[in-house]
Amino acid sequence: MIRTRLRDFVRTDEDCFFSVVDYFHPDGIRGILRYAPDEEGNRFANGMKYRKYDFADSFDYMRKHHPDWIADVHIIPQERISEILSPVDRVPEVVDSDEQIKTIVTVLSDAGIPMSKQGVTGSILPGLQNDMSDIDFVIYGPDWFKARDAINRAKLSSSLIEAIDENMWQRIYRKRSPEISYDEFLLHELRKGNRGMVNGTYFDLLFTRDWDQIHQPLERGTDTKHIQIKATVTDATFAFDNPALYKIDHEEIDHILSYTHTYSGQALTGERIEARGVVEELGHKKRLVVGTSREPRGEWMRSLTLLEKEGLL
């Protein structure tokens, strides 16, 4: 049995790289194709040219090359996997050659974050980054919150880590294309504090569960209807996970899952929220799913407590 988790990468026997998108893999590794060999590609590693695939294009590629691997994500047979790439293992390999990563690692290490809890994923993990690549930095388990606070303290000092400027926020908003206004989006994002700039390069601080936080697979239910609810968040421990999980106090819905990055970390424990998504019936309970597609229309989540506090309601 292959042991792998969210934000790892795997390389297949065809030298394709897939990002791992789950913690449990009952029928094969659950992933999404990110890079495939291509003579006309503009990414390079190990003497080969690669093409980067976005979410939609990756399914086009898989329909052509491995249609039997397609489910809600891509299911890679374990016997076809040649290598597992761990974000934790990658950091020591690049920290001395990449000044941006070295800066982040220094800030986090000075704050007491062990190297064993730090990782780097995205294009840097398989060595397919270019000069335009962002940094997807990973922190495992509860240390994520300590790391986030350390990054925000660094933004306030004369550090090389800086806050995101208005132009970049506008760019992120256009890319995400959320169903909430720009002012609401920015208010929530500034509070999250998990994005920044380092030496002019944009980076995200991503959460992944530590091994001892991985207990049982996510149940799959039946989608029914769109509804809009108001509720109180009772537990936001895994609000920055993927999918983001919010346990709530509501007469019908047990919890909210968000599959879109925009609504991760959107509310704190104890806050009142408003959300619209698809009800998924699990038999004994119901959940609300926000982000049933890559750019969901008519689905969103916002903290009413935050908006009221800042005078936007």
Domains of the chain: 9-85 (no CATH), 87-211 (3.30.460), 216-309 (2.40.50.140)
pLDDT for res 1: 74
The yes-or-no verdict on residue 171 having pLDDT over 70 is yes
Quick one: which of 153, 156, 151 has its CA closest to 139? Answer: 151
124-26-67 Cα angle (round to 5) = 70
- Find the mean pLDDT for residues 196-225: 94
Helix (H, G, I), strand (E, B) or coil at 161: strand
* pLDDT bucket at 294, cuts 50 / 70 / 90: low
Quick one: which of 113, 14, 124, 117 has its CA closest to 66? Answer: 14
The yes-or-no verdict on residue 174 having pLDDT over 90 is yes
CA distance 120 to 138: 6
Mean pLDDT of the chain: 95
8 Å CB contact between 205 and 137: yes
The yes-or-no verdict on residue 95 having pLDDT over 80 is yes
How many C-beta neighbours within 10 Å does residue 116 have? Answer: 11
- Find the mean pLDDT for residues 272-285: 95
pLDDT for res 98: 95
pLDDT for res 156: 92
pLDDT for res 219: 87
- Find the mean pLDDT for residues 193-217: 95
8 Å CB contact between 141 and 213: yes
Helix (H, G, I), strand (E, B) or coil at 71: coil
CA distance 211 to 4: 10
pLDDT for res 19: 98
pLDDT above 90 coverage of the chain, percent = 90
* pLDDT bucket at 135, cuts 50 / 70 / 90: very high
Question: How far does Cα 282 stand from its chain's mean position?
Answer: 24
pTM for the whole thing? 0.94
Which has the minimum average pLDDT: 56-65, 83-92, 213-222? 213-222
How many C-beta neighbours within 10 Å does residue 167 have? Answer: 8
8 Å CB contact between 95 and 105: yes
CA distance 246 to 6: 18
pLDDT for res 220: 87
* pLDDT bucket at 292, cuts 50 / 70 / 90: low
How many C-beta neighbours within 10 Å does residue 241 have? Answer: 20
130-134-136 Cα angle (round to 5) = 120
